[in-house]
Amino acid sequence: LVLFAQSRNAINDIYKAFKEAASEVRGIGTMIWIDCSGSGQKLCRQLKASPDQFVMHHYKDGKFHKVYDRQLTTKSLVRFMNDPTGDRPWEEEPTSKHVIHLDTPSNLSKLLKKHKRVLVMFYAPWCVYCKQMKPEYAAAAAKVKENGLGVLAAMDVHRAENTGMRTKYNITGFPTVHYFKNGEILATYEGENKQDKIVEFMKDPTAVPVKVKETPWSEEPSEVKHLTTDTFDQFIKENPSTLVMFYAPWCGHCKNLKPEWVKAAAAGSKQLNNGVVAAVDATKETALSDRFKVKGFPTIKYFKDGEFVFDTPNLRDSKKVIEFLRDPKEPPPAPPPEPAWADVPSEVVHLTEDNFKSQLRSKRHALVMFYAPWCGHCKAAKPEFEMAAEQLKEEPRMVLAAVNCVDNPAVCKLYDVKGYPTFKYFKYQKESSGYDGGRKAADFVNFLKNLERDSGAQTGNSEQSSTQASVAKEQKPVSENKKTEKREVPNHSGSDKLLQLTDDNFKTLVGEHKHLFVMFIGKECNKCDSATAVFAEVARMSDPSSGLATLAVCDVDTSPAVAAELKVDTLPTFKYFRNGMFVLDYSGEIAANLIHEFIKRLKNLSKDEL
């Protein structure tokens, strides 16, 4: 996704969102911006981009795909990059502003606690009937809100983080619309997909909706021959070329096909080469349905000289039906279904909710790919991932593993998987970091081998010496003739209030403290001693019990793994963590009053402001 801008000032309002989105989609797609008034002027002309202020163009497989036309937020940009060919998310449609869109199960829980009367539409983006209902539902939401009848909400349960809602609320088809009162399901809306009917339902959800009885197809005038169990065999014998649609009255695809069937039948015997267009209501004629093994609707079967010959599933418009009956030919066999990845022999270890921990417990280095079977990027990465696993099969402490998030949503939710594929690195079953490297076999192999080599450098060769070497590539190696010694923080006033952060306790301390502000120091750093004195003074001035950040010091010489993971390449470096996650660096002047003011501001800043 390329952001073409007249100047940096022209994109001030969206630059932050664009930059955050670029970070989130790393490994899935690339986002860049070009200054069309500066050094990128020639490139903008070549790409035919001449924005008044700015414009975003998406390129796919090296070619222009489309102009970005969604909201200018981080979430919208990320969703677009994860599925650039998909439909615009419902919540971004202007007409849906009165519908409360629920991103996660926790959002639903909060909504049910806040509002007494809630109607929730559980849907999937690809569902045709959901798309048809959306505008009526959105219009009803405005009227329901205006009349104080409650609120209307919607949840996309096709998203990985929401799939658990299908089981919880017994959702077996789309859309499913449940009415909640005081947090519990009171009724399910099964009325017409019309805004006035939805509003009427909200006035009295316990009333049974009156459905208009549809006229049976067999009673409607047409040239289609409607067959029953009693008439079927005789009719097939008397008509040597017969095409039969087995249908269900409630089936949406059958309803769509019905007018095409009527048109084809109306073409007449000469146009159809003496062929006949017929239909069977499989819900009434169950004996016929069972006899011919009808498993879904509509099912189209061709009969010749009184005998069943073959299925013709692709006849979905009148022209194709007429062409077929003029010259009946068996369609080519359908390609076999693609086997599940877990069923394909390879060295990739497939993880489930049952074996996730047990499989990774003995592996020092594990790279796990979280995927969905339908995901195109996942399919592209699979052969490279398998090649890498094959190359590493003789390495007992390394493994490449995969998790199908459709079948194992709980695991993917636990590790905060938001898109596919997502790669995460685990060390002895514990998550250590994400992976944003390349997706070729060599990239995966080199990533794990470099970690193993670095781990070996940390451990040292006990048969040759007790020397320990630093593995952080940003740091200078410790002399081979000198063992690294743990440095104590210089004893300044307030230094007793500074926590000592190390490779061993890093995860624990970051997880225990909601706000943690860490200074990284090292023996090669000339400014670190004076900076430590300033930091100790800040610790003396601060009281973590009042909500201010706890202060800690990390020596990169004795804790190289932490420094490498956080990419500490200059000293001293100051990093702020909130709720166990790195948030931002402090790059201001090293002065006690300024640092103290900085951590005071951190206390009250929202996530968006950070």
- The confidence score (pLDDT) of residue 455 equals 63
- Supply the range of the domain harboring residue 357: 343-453
| DSSP bridge partners of 279 | 226, 245
In a domain, residue 478? The reply is: no
Our count of domains for the chain comes to 5
Cβ-Cβ contacts under 8 Å for 334 (sequence gap 6 or more): 313
Sequence-separated contacts (24+) of 271-274 with Cβ below 8 Å? 271/322, 271/326, 272/241, 272/322, 272/325, 272/326, 273/241, 273/325, 273/326, 273/327, 274/240, 274/241
Same domain for 573 and 517? yes
The predicted structure's pLDDT at residue 30? 94
Mean pLDDT of the chain: 85
Reply yes or no on whether the pLDDT at 609 is more than 60.
no
Tokens found for residue 383: 């052969």
Give the whole-angstrom CA distance, residue 315 versus residue 496. Answer: 80
Give the end of a domain, one of 326, 357, 382: 326
For residue 481, being part of any structural domain is answered with no
Concerning whether 375 is annotated as a catalytic residue, the answer is: yes
Domain annotation covers residue 585: yes
Residue 299 to residue 288: CA distance in whole angstroms: 12
Q: Do 70 and 159 fall within a single domain?
A: no
Q: Is position 36 annotated as part of the catalytic site?
A: no
The answer to whether residue 259 sits within a structural domain is: yes
Based on the domain organization, do 119 and 74 belong to the same domain? no
Please determine, for residue 296, whether its predicted confidence score (pLDDT) is greater than 60: yes
Q: Give the model confidence (pLDDT) of 95-111 as tens digits.
A: 888 999 998 999 999 99
Give the pLDDT band (50/70/90) at residue 486. Answer: very low
Model confidence at 491, in pLDDT bands (50, 70, 90)?
Answer: low
**Which of 44, 375, 412, 554 is an active site residue?**
375
Same-domain status, 57 and 123:
no
* CATH value at residue 261: 3.40.30.10
Q: Is 419 part of any domain?
A: yes
Q: Do residues 351 and 411 touch, judged by C-beta distance below 8 A?
A: yes
Does a structural domain hold residue 251? yes
The answer to whether residue 214 scores a pLDDT higher than 90 is no
Active site residue 412: no
Single out the catalytic residue among 130, 254, 405, 412: 254
Tokens 């968006």 correspond to what residue? 608
Do 102 and 199 fall within a single domain? Answer: yes
For residue range 217-262, what is the model confidence (pLDDT) as tens digits? 999 999 999 999 999 999 999 999 999 999 988 788 899 999 999 9
The length of the chain is 610
Active site (annotated) includes residue 378: yes
Domain termination residue (choose one: 38, 60, 86): 86
Res 487: pLDDT: 44
Rounded-to-integer distance, Cα 438 and Cα 367, Å:
13
Same domain, 446 and 512: no
Please report the beta strands in 270-364, taking only residues with DSSP state E, as ranges in sequence order. Answer: 276-281, 299-304, 307-311, 349-351
Task: Name which of 148-152, 274-278, 398-402, 506-510 the model is least confident about.
Answer: 506-510
Work out the pLDDT band at 368, boundaries 50, 70, 90.
Answer: very high
Q: Which one from 36, 378, 412, 554 is the annotated catalytic residue? A: 378
Residue 210 lies in a domain: no
Q: How many CB atoms lie within 10 A of CB 334?
A: 9
- Among 260, 292, 326, residue at a domain's last position: 326
Q: What digits encode the pLDDT tens for the residues 542-575?
A: 877 777 889 999 998 888 888 888 888 788 999 9
Give helix 528-541 / helix 592-604 axis angle, nearest 10°.
50
b/e map 308-329, b = 16+ CB within 10 Å: eeebbeebebbeebbebbeebe
Report yes or no on 489 lying in a domain: no
Q: Are residues 315 and 229 in the same domain?
A: yes
Whether 357 shows a pLDDT value over 70: the answer reads yes
Tell me: do 385 and 424 sit in the same domain.
yes
Is residue 407 domain-shared with residue 435, that is, in the same domain?
yes
Q: Which tokens belong to 579?
A: 């709720």
Question: Could you tell me the pTM of the whole model?
Answer: 0.37
Q: How confident is the model at residue 139 (pLDDT cuts 50, 70, 90)?
A: very high
